[in-house]
Structures are given as structure tokens and as C-alpha cells.
Structure 1
């Protein structure tokens, strides 16, 4: 099972992890449940390479990093392979949601290239490709984890997090209906609800939960850990929203468009809670418009309200609260896992 990682258990995870992708892809292209034509195999091969491995891979690699900290010893080749396989399941999961999300949002680019549905001869075939991406996950799990005592728990975990993420996406979509755009709906309660379900569960809780299951733990005993990770995911999204407006495009790799896209951003939620009547009129009259002059007026309101300092204070207090919660956990190994997550994202610039 561990051929791809053979002799490399002690090596750099970032060099091992991409190798496992090619192993898993090759297995899926020969899946006995489907009689592939050459054309079908070529399509899946191209679709996977375009959508799965192109991101930062932080979610997937976090499974291996977390598992190593939980076990506290040098992992065997087999353990490295299995942790990598679970990490890639999360990257497949991410690709599935991004492919469909881009269709729903009518987006143009993703990870520095055209969205998959905008690629020549793809179009709405991308909707079916999203379904295929999601169905690859149980294929990988069945092939490599079926004999493990935590196999059913893994299936349940992915199903549960998928439901939570899809529900968060629904909240996001119905809150920003075209033609029904109303900034008064953008409250901190609505914001937290969207972020918690759309982002925090799959980006922060899912990798650690996979590592805990591999370690033989019962997730019912780690509700406090889940809550901390969801809070961390919320903090991460607030950072994202801040960087979308105030970050350096060279550093973050994109030009932010949350204002133009009428996003339920942390910044506009804070602004709506702080504006006076004249500022509110300017904000509601210009938010969600692509005209650079309108965007400049919104940013001017943000600066007048000193939202950069509001964010810095939020960041400081969030960090202190997260550290306090983490240090209250009984397991030192779990504390190390969560602190490693937090230190990767604290005061990030991209």
C-alpha cells in the first residue's frame, strides 16, 4: 500500500504529498466500477489535474502534520501514505465545492486560471464533474480504509461536513440574491453562521478530525476541540475579508472584489454597525457596484470608521481567546496540534 511513500516517512511532507496524488489518480482512472473509454479516461485525467492539486494544499497537509503531533513518533511509510490519502480526500472535497461554487457565483478565475466551467468545451459538464469529484472520495476511502476500525466514522465525517458546507453555501447564496440586495441583512450573527458552515468545518475541523480518527479517537470526546477549530476558521475568514480590501494584491495573489460582489464581508458588517446616517446612505448606494469610483467611496467609509484598527483589535482578542481555550484542553498533544494551526494563520499577510 505504501509504495509511493516507501522509505520516505521521515522526509518532507510537502515533497511526499504530491506524489500520493498521482497514485490515487491512477487508481481512480482504473476503477473497476466503471468501464472507461479512452475519451472518458482522458477527460477525468485532465479534469483532476486542472482542479485538485492547484491550491496551497494546506488542508490536506494539515492531516499529516496533525497526525504526527498526535502520535508523537516518526510515522511508518504506511501511516504516511494513509494520512496523505486522507489529506487528498479533503483536497478532492475542496475541488468539488469550488467547481460548483464558481458556476453558482458565475466567477471567471480561480487559482490564477479560468474557472473549470469557462474552459473551452467544458461549460456545464463541470456540474457533473463536481459530482464525480465528490464520488471519488468514498472510492478512495473504500480502497484504502475499508478494513480500518474507523472506516464508517470517516464516511460519516465527510457526509456530515458536506452537509454543513452545502448549508453554509445556501445561506450565503440566499443572503446575496440578485435584485434583493439589502445591506441591513448583513449582521454579525448572519456572518458567523455563513462562515462557520461554509468554511470553518471543512477547512479547520475536518483535517484534525481525520487525524484524530486515524489515531483511534472517538470524535464525540472532542466537542471542545471542534468548537475551537470552528472559532479559528471564523478568525481565518475575517482575516481573508480584511486582506481582500487592505491586503497587498502582490502578496495575496489576487485583487479583492468583495465590495463589487456585494459579499457579506466582515468589514461591511462592522461598517453597518458603526455608520451614521449619512455614511450609511453612501455605503448602501455604492456597495456592490463595479464602478471604481463606487468602490473608492466604500473604502473611504471603511477608513473613516477606522476599520483597520477595529480589525487589529479583533485579531488581538481572538488570538488571546483561542490560546486560552487551547491551553484549557486536557491533552498536550491536541494542544500542540491546535497551536500549530493557529501559529500558521496568526497575523498572516496572504
Structure 2
């Protein structure tokens, strides 16, 4: 019986769960093939596929689901292989981005476990290999991320969409913008303190848009719609909903990176502060803090040796400067803009319902 067979349960929920299962099966099958391929090269390389498999197993599948409902909203057939492949490609792209992001951010944890570069460093130490374990961990993780990025392209190309098709254009643009946004992020970490304080929020907002918001929500939704042949007007409507949603999603992520419960987020308290992320929350803090507190933020942000007392003081400055409250106001405003655009979309009720649930989950999450 098909995974999309009739049932007495809520049809939208059943359809969504079936799609998630199909994407998981596709990823399993694809990575099994790659496991066999790399095993023929050398059993030593199997750890690369194992690391990727670990990252793409489970998770919320938000990007894949946005692509799916973008597809359905544009008239695509439920359970079609094209959108399953697109969902799998997006999940692999997300995994590649996470691997590289954790190296850049010097983050030792991911989803409550060791990040990929930390896994390789641990392997080096356990085997008592020569040379530096951290350098090996970073190098191996970079190669794993590159391999995962290559896998993402391979899966997307297997859809058969033409090189000049709208969906291919969206996929290509998404990848370029993420890399550019990531560079702006690391540039801001080193150059931000020397730039005018009054422009910190605008710079951080640009990073949010290109590093995260577009690839987290706008591009997946538009890609799904384009793959199904959606009109220019529909795709523009998708963007009007998904871009502010993605920005609100990232702002929520930034708040959780400082104030989130480690038991929920899977990352140590204050991790974003040690990584030195120049987020909108930090920009608003610098805007609203007094001179002494501003100097404290500039001198302590990005220090790996931050203690609990220093983290507590940074958090207190964020609260006292009204930066946390202003960030919450921005999340609320962006969410309102997004859901107003969703209400105007010319899509079926089940598609609107699914997109609404995904959107509300994204901006109200605790992990």
C-alpha cells in the first residue's frame, strides 16, 4: 500500500508524515550506495559517510517540508519523486552547511552530541595518531562537508530539471548566497568592533538574510513551487511569506544561542557569546548600552575563556539595554508580516494550514 493511501487521520498530517518518511528512505538508500562506493576505495573512508548519515538522520526537516508544501501549493502531485529528491538534496545541503559552520564557529557540539570536526579529533586521539588532532579534525570535517555538498548537488541533478529551469536557478542562487552570507558573518566578527556602532544592526540583519533566512525558508519554499511550475506571482507570494519568516526564525535562534536552555538546545550556555557572533541581538545591545557596558561587550565577545560570571553579565547587559525586548518585538513584527502574506496566498486550505503550522513552530521553538 502506498504511503499516501487513504486514512481516517488528519489528511494534511498524514501526507506530511509520509513525505518525511519518503525523504528519510531516499537519504538512507542514497547513503547506502555511497557507503558501498567508498568502501571499495578504502574502508578507512567510511567514517565520512557515517558522519553525514548521522547529521541527516532525524531532525525537523523544515526546509524539505517547506519545499514540499511549495510544490503542493503550485499544483504538484502528492508523493511525486521529484519533490522527494529535492527534499533529500536540501537536507544534504543543510548538513554540509552545519559541518562547515561548526568549524568556523569553533563549536564542539551539535544537537547534543559532538560536532563532526570534534568526532574526527576524538578519533585521532583514540587511535594515538601522529601530528595535531585538532588540525586533523578540522581537515577531515572540511572534506566531509565538501563531500556532503557534492552529494546534495548529485541528488538535485538526478531530478532531471534543466540547467536553465527556474528550480535549478533557485538552487544555485541559494548555495551562492549562503556562502556569501557566511563570509559576511566571519568578516563581521573581526571587523565589527572597528565599524560604527550605529550600523551594527543593519550589518547583522544583512547577514541574517543571506546566511540563514533565504536558505532556511524562502529558497526551499520557492524551489518547491518552481519545480511544480508555479507562476511568477505565486513564487513572489511565497517569498513575501517565507523571507520574514526566515528572519524571525534566525532571530529566535540568536536568542536561544544566548538565553536558551542547554538541555533543550543541545549547546552549552553562552556558546554564541564565546563564538563571538555579531548578531542583531548584539547590535541592539551595543546600540542601547551605556559606554562602559558597550566596552565590556566589545572586549569580551568572542573570548573562548568566558566564565559563568562574565556570561551572566553579558546577558544582563542585553536585558538592561532593552536589546532582548527589542529582538522579541522584531520577531513578533516579522511573524505578523509573514502570516499576513500567507493569508493572501492563492493556495488550497490544506497547504495554508501546513505552512502556518511550520511557521509557528519555527518562531516559537525552544531548541
TM-score range, shorter chain: 0.7 to 0.9
Contiguous gaps of at least 5 residues in structure 2: 6-13, 125-135
Question: Which secondary structure does the structure 2 equivalent of 1:8 belong to?
Answer: coil
Instruction: Name the TM-score, length of structure 1 as normaliser.
Output: 0.82
Quick check: 1:288 aligned with 2:302? yes
In the alignment, the residues of structure 2 paired with residue 40 and residue 219 of structure 1 have an alpha-carbon distance, to the nearest angstrom, of: 48
In the alignment, the residues of structure 2 paired with residue 322 and residue 270 of structure 1 have an alpha-carbon distance, to the nearest angstrom, of: 22
Question: CA offsets per residue over residues 78-121 of structure 1, 9 Å max, x none?
Answer: x1x43222111011101112222222333212222222223224
Give 1:140's match in structure 2, choosing from 141, 155, 160: 155
Give 1:315 shift: 3.0
Show the counterpart of 2:83: 83
Question: Which secondary structure does the structure 2 equivalent of 1:259 belong to?
Answer: helix
Structure 1 residues 36 and 220: CA distance shift in structure 2, 3 A? farther
In the alignment, the residues of structure 2 paired with residue 174 and residue 274 of structure 1 have an alpha-carbon distance, to the nearest angstrom, of: 23
RCO comparison, higher one (Cα < 8 Å, 6+): 2
Structure 1 residues 151 and 57: CA distance shift in structure 2, 3 A? farther
In the alignment, the residues of structure 1 paired with residue 146 and residue 300 of structure 2 have an alpha-carbon distance, to the nearest angstrom, of: 37
Quick check: 1:303 aligned with 2:319? yes
Question: CA offsets per residue over residues 17-72 of structure 1, 9 Å max, x none?
Answer: 322221222344567xx994252773443233233325433222333344345448
Quick check: 1:166 aligned with 2:179? yes
Give 1:299 shift: 1.5
Question: CA offsets per residue over residues 120-174 of structure 1, 9 Å max, x none?
Answer: 246213222222211112322333x22x568844433222111100000000011
Count matched residues: 336
Question: Which secondary structure does the structure 2 equivalent of 1:176 belong to?
Answer: helix
Show the counterpart of 1:20: 26
Give 1:39's match in structure 2, choosing from 25, 35, 43: 43
Show the counterpart of 1:63: 67
Instruction: Name the TM-score, length of structure 2 as normaliser.
Output: 0.79
Matching of residues 206-225 of structure 1 within 5 Å:
206-218=219-231, 222-225=235-238
How large is the RMSD of aligned CA atoms in angstroms?
3.1
Structure 1 residues 131 and 252: CA distance shift in structure 2, 3 A? closer
Query: Does the CA contact (< 8 Å) of 1:229 and 1:338 recur in 2?
Result: no
Quick check: 1:125 aligned with 2:152? no
Give 1:234 shift: 1.0
Give 1:199 shift: 0.6
In the alignment, the residues of structure 2 paired with residue 51 and residue 312 of structure 1 have an alpha-carbon distance, to the nearest angstrom, of: 30
Give 1:317's match in structure 2, choosing from 330, 333, 341: 333
Contiguous gaps of at least 5 residues in structure 1: 1-5
Between 295-304 and 62-71, the greater mean CA deviation after superposition:
62-71
Between 132-141 and 282-291, the greater mean CA deviation after superposition:
282-291
Show the counterpart of 2:292: 278
Question: Which secondary structure does the structure 1 equivalent of 2:202 belong to?
Answer: helix
Matching of residues 248-267 of structure 1 within 5 Å:
248-255=261-268, 256-267=270-281
Structure 1 residues 220 and 262: CA distance shift in structure 2, 3 A? same
